[in-house]
């Protein structure tokens, strides 16, 4: 019988030629073969090629309206089509390519405009990307990201994997990246925001865990809700993030990074710094107020200096001795807390101690702790009880002082998802960097002491000028009367 099999050497010679011909067949549409599209809008005049498997035929007017980059690429009018070209209906072709045209070296994929002739066909070889190529240096989801975006140009809904916050985030980040490249953020911003907000408390918890990532997302899609939430948690975790060294991935992007906060761009970093300073000053003012707090019962109703009429004699003060011991003991403990940097300077901005101060009662300075005080200053059982009650009175006053720091300005339910940092940062209209809304900040009115009536005990040492001979004369009069 006649053997029709070719020698092995012939196959070896033919194979390279076959691969070249196959490449040409894939890359250049045949004159007689109708190209298949993922999306084809009737009477469209522009072919957008993402890969060999993803092609779209859209109106150039749609592309110009939806993408600033495409608008720039389509500024020059297409050719006047021949009768054959009008059948094709193609005036423009945009192709995603991953090589440098001069050196053919791999680059980050970019769109290029391919010249079209009067017959609606490319004037040169069109090299398309293959999705199955494992040699690519970019993420595999790039093609599906472009698919979502280009479908939205044709008024098709954007669909993200919303099974969980962990699945939504990669889809959202990929979509943001391609939308930024094409100048199409307004097309996707609201969709991404709605998908994320639909996760409810899961989303707000994710922001609290990693606010740096989320403030970047919020800034890029200009979401005020997300931006406010992330900024509040960033300020609350400022000390912790500032003291945390950058990861290896961060150092590769920014070799000069010294902390996790160095991931932020200059504008965001400046905003976080300014907000942190506001909270820091607020904490310092509250700490001073605690240091100068006196129970209201210790203050006298008149300050004329007459012991016989004003109830300011030694006996009157003697009756308050346990209250004064309570003040001394409380300030002893508070002074140690400040000295140990247990307040606004600790890694979580003092939230732990402020929360205990606000709770009061047995949350801090317990009776077991005050037992050490009684070791050096023994008291009767009744005396210990009176001292404990006086400490509770002081704690009630301190709780009100600390209350502003316990306000939760975020949308995170901290009752079900407790956190260790403050969330009292107020985000103003002027803080939205892409669309600042200047707001007049009114200075709080502070009542000044007029020299008459009862003066707050906290102001007792504010004016050194008032320390003079009057106090000494009043003491002399009291001694004479006694």
Closest C-alpha to 49, from 104, 112, 101, 106: 112
Q: Is the pLDDT of residue 190 over 70?
A: yes
pLDDT of 450 reads 40
Mean pLDDT, range 187-201, rounded to an integer: 95
Q: Dump pLDDT digits (tens) for 343-355.
A: 898 888 999 999 9
Mean pLDDT, range 27-52, rounded to an integer: 78
Higher pLDDT, 278 or 33: 278
Q: Is the pLDDT of residue 399 over 50?
A: yes
pLDDT of 101 reads 85
Q: Dump pLDDT digits (tens) for 151-168.
A: 999 999 999 998 999 999
User: H/E/C letters for each residue in the chain?
Assistant: CCCCCCCHHHHHHHHHHHHHHHHHHHHCCCCCCCCCCCEECCCCCEEEEEECCEEEEECHHHHHHHCHHHHHHCCCCCCCCCHHHHHHCCCEEEEEEEECCCCCCEEEEEEEECCECCCCCECCCCCCCCCCCCCCCCCCCHHHHHHHHHHHHCCCCCCCCCCCHHHHHHHHHHHHHHHHHHCCHHHHHHHHHHHHHCCCHHHHHHHHHCHHHHHHHHHHHCCHHHHHHHHHHHHHCHHHHHHCCCCHHHHHHCCCCCCHHHHCCHHHHHHHHHHHHHHHHHHHHHHHHHHCCCCHHHCCCCCCCCHHHHCCCHHHHHHCHHHHHHHHHHHHHHHHHHHCCCCCCCCCCCHHHHHHHHHCHHHCCCHHHHHHHHHHCCCCHHHHHHHHHHHHHHHHHHHHHHHHHHCCCCCCCCCCCCCCCCCCCCCCHHHCCCCCCCCCCCCCCCCCCCCCCCCCHHHCCCCHHHCCHHHHHHHHHHHHHC
pLDDT of 279 reads 96
Q: Is the pLDDT of residue 437 over 80?
A: no
Q: Is the pLDDT of residue 471 over 50?
A: no
Mean pLDDT, range 81-101, rounded to an integer: 90
pLDDT of 449 reads 37
Q: Is the pLDDT of residue 478 over 60?
A: no
Higher pLDDT, 335 or 6: 335
Q: Dump pLDDT digits (tens) for 113-146.
A: 999 999 989 998 898 998 887 666 778 899 999 9
Q: Is the pLDDT of residue 71 over 90?
A: yes
Q: Is the pLDDT of residue 439 over 80?
A: no
Q: Give 206's contacts (C-beta < 8 A, 6+ positions apart).
A: 165, 169, 199, 214
Mean confidence (pLDDT) of the chain: 84
pLDDT of 36 reads 87
pLDDT band (50, 70, 90) for residue 6: low
Q: Is the pLDDT of residue 387 over 70?
A: yes
| Per-domain residue ranges of the chain | 295-444
pLDDT of 356 reads 96
Q: What is the pTM of this model?
A: 0.80
Give the whole-number percent of the chain exceeding pLDDT 90.
59
């Amino acid at each position: 019988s006649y053997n029709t099999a070719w020698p092995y050497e012939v196959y070896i010679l033919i194979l390279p030629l076959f691969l070249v011909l196959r490449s040409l067949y894939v890359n250049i549409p045949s004159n007689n073969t109708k190209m298949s599209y993922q999306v084809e809008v009737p009477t469209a005049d522009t072919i957008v090629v993402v890969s060999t498997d993803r092609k779209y035929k859209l109106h150039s007017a749609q592309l110009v309206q939806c993408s600033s980059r495409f608008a720039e690429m389509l500024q020059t009018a297409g050719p006047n089509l021949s009768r054959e070209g009008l059948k094709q209906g193609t005036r423009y072709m945009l192709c995603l390519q991953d090589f440098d045209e001069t050196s053919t070296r791999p680059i980050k994929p970019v769109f290029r405009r391919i010249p079209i002739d009067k017959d609606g066909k490319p004037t040169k070889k069109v090299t398309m990307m293959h999705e199955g190529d494992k040699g690519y240096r970019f993420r595999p989801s790039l093609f599906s990201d472009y698919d979502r975006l280009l479908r939205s140009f044709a008024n098709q809904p954007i669909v993200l994997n919303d099974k969980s916050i962990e699945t939504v985030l990669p889809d959202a980040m990929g979509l943001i990246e391609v939308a930024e490249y094409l100048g199409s953020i307004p097309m996707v911003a609201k969709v991404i925001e709605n998908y994320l907000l639909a996760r409810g408390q899961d989303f707000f918890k994710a922001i609290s865990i990693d606010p740096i990532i989320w403030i970047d997302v919020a800034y890029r899609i200009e979401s005020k809700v997300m931006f406010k939430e992330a900024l509040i948690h960033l300020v609350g975790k400022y000390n912790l993030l500032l003291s945390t060294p950058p990861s290896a991935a961060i150092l590769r992007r920014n070799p000069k990074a010294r902390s996790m906060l160095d991931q932020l761009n200059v504008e965001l970093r400046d905003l976080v710094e300014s907000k942190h300073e506001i909270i820091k000053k607020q904490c310092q003012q509250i700490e001073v107020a605690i240091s100068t707090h006196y129970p209201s019962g210790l203050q006298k109703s008149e300050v004329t200096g007459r012991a016989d009429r004003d109830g300011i004699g030694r006996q009157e003060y003697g009756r308050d001795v346990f209250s004064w011991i309570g003040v001394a003991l409380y300030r002893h403990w508070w002074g140690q807390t400040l000295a140990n940097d247990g307040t606004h300077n600790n890694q979580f901005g003092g939230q732990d101690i402020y929360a205990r101060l606000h709770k009061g009662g047995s949350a801090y300075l317990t009776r077991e702790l005050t037992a050490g005080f009684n070791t050096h200053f023994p008291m009767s059982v009744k005396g210990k009880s009176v001292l404990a009650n006086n400490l509770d009175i002081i704690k009630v006053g301190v709780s009100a002082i600390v209350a502003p720091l316990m306000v939760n300005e975020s949308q995170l339910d901290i009752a079900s998802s407790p956190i260790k940092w403050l969330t009292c940062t107020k985000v103003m209209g002027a803080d939205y960097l892409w669309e600042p809304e200047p707001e007049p900040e009114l200075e709080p009115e502070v009542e000044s002491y007029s020299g008459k009536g009862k003066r707050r005990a906290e102001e007792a040492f504010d004016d050194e000028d008032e320390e003079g001979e009057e106090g000494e004369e009043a003491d002399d009069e009291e001694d004479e009367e006694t």
